[in-house]
Structure 1
Amino acid sequence: MRRRDFLYVSGIGVGASMLQSIPVIGRDIAIEDALMPIDVSLKKKLADIALNAARSKGATYADVRIGRYLNQFLTTRENRVENISNTESYGMGIRVIANGSWGFAAIDNLTEDNIAKAAASAVQIAKVNSKLLAEPVRLAPQKGYGEVNWKTPFEKNSFEIPIKEKTELLLAVNDAALKGGANFVNSSLFLVNEQKYFASTEGSYIDQDIHRLWPTFTVTKIDAKSGKFETRNSLSSPMGMGYEYLNPKKEEEIDGVFTIYKNRYNMLEDATTATRHVEEKLKAKPVEPGKYDLIIDPTNLFLTIHESVGHPSELDRVLGYEANYAGTSFLTLDKWESKKFNFGSKIVNFEADKTEKGSLAAVGYDDEGVKCKNWDIIKDGILVNYQTIRDQAHILGLPESQGCCYADSWDKVQFQRMPNVSLKAGKTPLSANDMVKNVEKGIYIFGRNSYSIDQQRYNFQFSGQLCFEVKDGKIGGLLKDVAYQSNTQEFWNSCSAICDEKDYRLGGSFFDGKGQPSQVSAVSHGCATTLFKGVNVINTGRKI
């Protein structure tokens, strides 16, 4: 078993904003070491030491997380490689309940004596905390699963792909952009492997091997005469899968504008197309403010879902227990209790799902040892549920947790985090091309860009990477300075059509921030291309 010192530089604080930047991550590890697994029987032995020590000191409940977090990050610019790093973080977090209160301690030097001392410290912390309790912790019932394991379904382990092959891909992406006329281009590939072992006094010993990857780039072109420039970021999505994500399968072309790949990504093709787009963006005409029908691609709509549906349905925000980075929520309990709060139109159905293949938040069990599942949050436009963990379930009268507990490291205490929250595809056959044909005055929006939303997740403004004019059922040229404004309830009630399952795709982020001290989590939001009628559009370039 290898243990390495690790420094986590967590200047991540942009909260629920789904960061585009990559946090700096500590000391390097040789890739050969990263590919060496830790024996499961050894992890069980270490976990039992902690559980037994916690019980002996008076804990009525204890759980242990042994985490090994591996990251590989490759960055390039134009014709050179700028950085390649492999990092490892390894240690144990021990959480207990004693005298009805939580206590937590973490260590990275996993000797038997150190583990026992850390467990005792967690119990002591819980007992001190209990003096401030208004009421004791109430955990939803949870059976033990014995010894089980879960692994991200993938075809190719990204960490096993040679560095040479990965850097050649990134440099080829850059070369394609430069040959297309770009002045600057950078590209990167970020790989994550979370090896997580959970054990509890309820009898669970859960070993999980979780894989994620994110390929991305930014292309920039400068107009020599005016000195103005435009950029376009990649339209990739971070995914919970292996290197096969970069082996695309063609699905559908949208009027020559884009080729859609179903949860696959053609990085070279996207870079080539991006270079053409930045040239067109330099010549794009300003949008005329007014009401438009918006056709929103999943590459843009996923962020609107995240901010206006995902965060406000977090129960801790609803209750006011959490307000960091994303504020609280307008979806207060009285709206849920009424069983008739009109969140959106009747075709709007949002599902929380911790099991969806390829998604970032997909795991077999959460960080409380709860087996993951899916459930409705919005059904036929009506608010029907939230997101909960074990000590919240009783507030909603639920018989069990929904499995939404997560910590981004072994040395952080786990708390309520967002599952994948997705808009269900339409039931009637409908393609994006068919949707365009029915729009007289509209804008077709691709790619995430700037956004703003208030502290109750209600009033908002979003823009896109690419905004195409749609007139009389045909896609026209690019518009610039486009942003759509609305409030959550008004926006989702304007939803009038959703493409079918063939168009459904995942978007998401590696870095969704929450809490203080801050933690980040990876989360996906799926949807198909969606039509919103009569949405207010402003021109962000006009002076007031």
Structure 2
Amino acid sequence: MKRRDFIQRSGMGLGALATSGLFMMGNPVSAEQLLEPGIDTAAKKLLADTALNAAKAKGATYTDVRIGRYLSQSVFTREKNVQGISNAETFGVGIRVIANGTWGFSATSDVTPDGIKACAETAVAIAKANSKLQTEPVVLAPEKGHGEVTWNTPIVKNPMEIPVKEKIDLLLKANNAAMDNGAAFVNSAIFMINEQKYFASTDGSYIDQDIHRLYPTFSVTAVNKAAGGFRSRQALSTPMGMGYEYMDGLAKDKIMNPAGFVSYNNSYDIVEDAISAAKQAKEKINAKSVTPGKYDLVLDPDHLGLTIHESVGHPLELDRVLGYEANYAGTSFATLDKWKSGDFKYGSDIVNIFADKTQDYSLGNTGYDDEGVKCKEWDLIKDGVLVNYQAIRDQVAILGGTESNGCAFADSWGSVQFQRMPNVSLRPGTEKYSPADMVKDVEKGIYILGRGSFSIDQQRYNFQFGGTVFYEIKDGEIVGMLEDVAYQSNTQEFWNSCTKICDKDDYRFMGTFNDGKGQPSQSSAVSHGSSTTRFDGVNVINTGRNI
């Protein structure tokens, strides 16, 4: 259940989150301790050099060192009460080496010269032991050393510096606003992450990065006591790679959607969204149940992001394609023969999907990946054709490449880095075209916002997706709310049914704080950008009322 944050939001409820530990990591600390500076850059360099020298002395031909301090704060409320506050810190070192042509990895929380030296020597010993089973040596794509560099998330307000009381007051204000507008139950929360990561390698890189992420969310439930029914509506926020300025709710970052309420871009008004949620939750109770059949779907970015994540992001991870990753949610239908053909139509001609860890405000935004590779943008699907995958330094040679895509990641100092999904996004349309224009062009359709339950097979091909809010479109107009909606398709059929994409003025992110992969599993944060998009003739089923 930890694989998708939307499952946590809609399936478990925020009350369960308060005790689940999904957003808590490390040792409990005070809010004040989160603001204490870590060790300075010069001290980190000395420690890193200790590891590099120790590993080389034991026979390593390549070494990288990650010194990480990871901070988190979570605040939970329900109705008029505070449910919990969590502050946590973890600090340690992960050392990865190649010896005898084979990887070895070790980690320690003993961040002293002696502790790091012993850790490096252990990593080399593990590599040498592993080499007895290695059939081919590791081949790393070359990476020029970057010297001493820094990169910081360009935040305006450090979330950790905002008093906890101010965060609580804002959540309770949102809760009260929802209850004043008819909600019977409200859970709300704010999750904050700060990763202070230092990377050094024998390539000559010493990279210091300070990364921030923020996620405000809630769940509102309305109850019809007379009929005995209830419905919920989740927040239409998205986690962002921003500071607390995301909570400012600036008018310039609001978009009026065709259903007549506000969608959000790079600023979020949690109180305004809570009011809309309460009204829509009440409306959902008596909403018309959908008639199954073929519909044109108008998908809001906050919804479409999850479909991109599951049907494009995961199947184009090269380790899934090769069958190396199968234990955690399967492999991929997008096998190398399809890429090699040069003409595999993943989607229609207007579908252009790219990977990019440098997008401003995105969860994946960072200067360098966890192999010290400078992050960049690259195409995955061009004019509907599969053109590339996601690959890191020890994978690109398989594709005949000589340069990593810069998408290696480890979720802590104690985890080994491996290929992780960067931001994977759909390029907006090139002509001026708004969501309202799109609705006007639909005769029989459904407008879908927000995330819901989903199912996809082990090759990322056949799938079913729900949503949060659904509106019926008839003859170019929204005529009312629907319920019990889910659409079914397969990845290639679905993306080939894409007929129209709104322009860049509607481009927004959807994101997930907890994308799971690997065994042992690791969790990463990733965003997916898109504009409102239309898919024609998609099969819609009625999921049945759960009241």
Structure 1 counterpart of 2:369, one-letter code: D
Contact 1:18 1:509 in 2 (8 A): no
Following superposition, the deviation at residue 256 of structure 1 comes to 5.4
Following superposition, the deviation at residue 531 of structure 1 comes to 0.5
Contact 1:15 1:514 in 2 (8 A): no
Q: Following the alignment from structure 1 to structure 2, what is the Cα–Cα distance between the partners of residues 302 and 509?
A: 9
2:462 maps to 1:459? yes
> What does residue 332 of structure 1 align with?
335
2:170 maps to 1:169? yes
Question: Structure 1 residues 322 and 86, CA, compared in 2 at 3 Å: closer, same or farther?
Answer: same
2:81 maps to 1:63? no
SS at match of 2:171: helix
SS at match of 1:448: coil
Q: Which string of whole-angstrom CA distances, capped at 9 and with x for unpartnered residues, describes residues 314-363 of structure 1?
A: 00000000012221000000000011000000000001001000000111
Structure 2 counterpart of 1:82, one-letter code: Q
Following superposition, the deviation at residue 115 of structure 1 comes to 1.0
Q: Following the alignment from structure 1 to structure 2, what is the Cα–Cα distance between the partners of residues 366 and 409?
A: 13
2:401 maps to 1:398? yes
Selected match of 1:485 from 463, 468, 488? 488
Q: Following the alignment from structure 2 to structure 1, what is the Cα–Cα distance between the partners of residues 350 and 258?
A: 26
Q: Which string of whole-angstrom CA distances, capped at 9 and with x for unpartnered residues, describes residues 344-392 of structure 1?
A: 0000000100100000011100000000000000000000000000000
Q: Which string of whole-angstrom CA distances, capped at 9 and with x for unpartnered residues, describes residues 200-232 of structure 1?
A: 011100000000000000001111022221111
> What does residue 301 of structure 2 align with?
298
Following superposition, the deviation at residue 247 of structure 1 comes to 1.3
> What does residue 14 of structure 1 align with?
3
TM-score w.r.t. length of structure 1: 0.96
- The equivalences for 1:357-436 within 5 A come to 357-436=360-439
Q: Which string of whole-angstrom CA distances, capped at 9 and with x for unpartnered residues, describes residues 254-284 of structure 1?
A: 3452223322211111000000001100001
Contact 2:328 2:519 in 1 (8 A): no
Q: Following the alignment from structure 1 to structure 2, what is the Cα–Cα distance between the partners of residues 151 and 399?
A: 28
Question: Structure 1 residues 18 and 428, CA, compared in 2 at 3 Å: closer, same or farther?
Answer: farther
SS at match of 1:502: helix
SS at match of 1:449: coil
SS at match of 1:53: helix
- The equivalences for 1:63-82 within 5 A come to 63-82=64-83
2:115 maps to 1:110? no
> What does residue 46 of structure 1 align with?
47
Q: Following the alignment from structure 2 to structure 1, what is the Cα–Cα distance between the partners of residues 391 and 414?
A: 22
Contact 1:345 1:381 in 2 (8 A): yes
Contact 1:311 1:326 in 2 (8 A): no
> What does residue 538 of structure 1 align with?
541
Structure 1 counterpart of 2:48, one-letter code: A
> What does residue 4 of structure 1 align with?
none
Contact 2:159 2:192 in 1 (8 A): yes
Question: Structure 1 residues 177 and 70, CA, compared in 2 at 3 Å: closer, same or farther?
Answer: same
Q: Following the alignment from structure 2 to structure 1, what is the Cα–Cα distance between the partners of residues 111 and 353?
A: 43
Structure 2 counterpart of 1:309, one-letter code: V
Q: Following the alignment from structure 1 to structure 2, what is the Cα–Cα distance between the partners of residues 216 and 357?
A: 21
Q: Following the alignment from structure 1 to structure 2, what is the Cα–Cα distance between the partners of residues 437 and 115?
A: 63
Q: Following the alignment from structure 2 to structure 1, what is the Cα–Cα distance between the partners of residues 222 and 32?
A: 40
Following superposition, the deviation at residue 248 of structure 1 comes to 2.2
Q: Which stretch of structure 1 is more off in the superposition, 360-369 or 35-44?
A: 35-44
- The equivalences for 1:178-197 within 5 A come to 178-197=179-198
Q: Following the alignment from structure 1 to structure 2, what is the Cα–Cα distance between the partners of residues 71 and 226?
A: 42
Q: Following the alignment from structure 1 to structure 2, what is the Cα–Cα distance between the partners of residues 92 and 255?
A: 50
SS at match of 2:48: helix
Q: Following the alignment from structure 1 to structure 2, what is the Cα–Cα distance between the partners of residues 391 and 75?
A: 41
Contact 1:147 1:204 in 2 (8 A): yes
Structure 1 counterpart of 2:365, one-letter code: A
Following superposition, the deviation at residue 19 of structure 1 comes to 4.8
Structure 2 counterpart of 1:132, one-letter code: L
Contact 2:147 2:206 in 1 (8 A): yes
Contact 2:24 2:86 in 1 (8 A): no
Q: Which stretch of structure 1 is more off in the superposition, 32-41 or 497-506?
A: 32-41
Identity %, equivalent residues: 63
> What does residue 37 of structure 2 align with?
37
Following superposition, the deviation at residue 13 of structure 1 comes to 4.6
SS at match of 1:468: strand
Contact 1:453 1:461 in 2 (8 A): yes
> What does residue 271 of structure 2 align with?
268
> What does residue 94 of structure 2 align with?
93
Q: Following the alignment from structure 1 to structure 2, what is the Cα–Cα distance between the partners of residues 381 and 389?
A: 24
> What does residue 201 of structure 1 align with?
202
Structure 1 counterpart of 2:287, one-letter code: A
Question: Structure 1 residues 124 and 520, CA, compared in 2 at 3 Å: closer, same or farther?
Answer: same
Q: Which string of whole-angstrom CA distances, capped at 9 and with x for unpartnered residues, describes residues 416-463 of structure 1?
A: 000000000000100001111111110000000000000000000001
> What does residue 515 of structure 1 align with?
518
Contact 1:405 1:415 in 2 (8 A): yes
> What does residue 155 of structure 2 align with?
154
Following superposition, the deviation at residue 15 of structure 1 comes to 6.7
Contact 1:298 1:505 in 2 (8 A): yes
Contact 1:388 1:416 in 2 (8 A): yes
> What does residue 6 of structure 1 align with?
none
Q: Following the alignment from structure 2 to structure 1, what is the Cα–Cα distance between the partners of residues 92 and 257?
A: 48
> What does residue 220 of structure 1 align with?
221
Q: Which stretch of structure 1 is more off in the superposition, 59-68 or 27-36?
A: 27-36
SS at match of 1:507: strand
> What does residue 135 of structure 1 align with?
136
SS at match of 2:466: strand
SS at match of 1:409: coil
SS at match of 2:486: strand
Q: Which runs of 5+ in 2 are unaligned?
A: 10-16
Contact 1:69 1:88 in 2 (8 A): yes
**Root-mean-square deviation (Å):** 1.4
Contact 2:236 2:263 in 1 (8 A): no
Q: Which stretch of structure 1 is more off in the superposition, 23-32 or 49-58?
A: 23-32
Aligned length: 532
Following superposition, the deviation at residue 111 of structure 1 comes to 1.8
TM-score w.r.t. length of structure 2: 0.95
Structure 1 counterpart of 2:205, one-letter code: S
SS at match of 2:123: helix
2:501 maps to 1:505? no
Following superposition, the deviation at residue 249 of structure 1 comes to 2.8
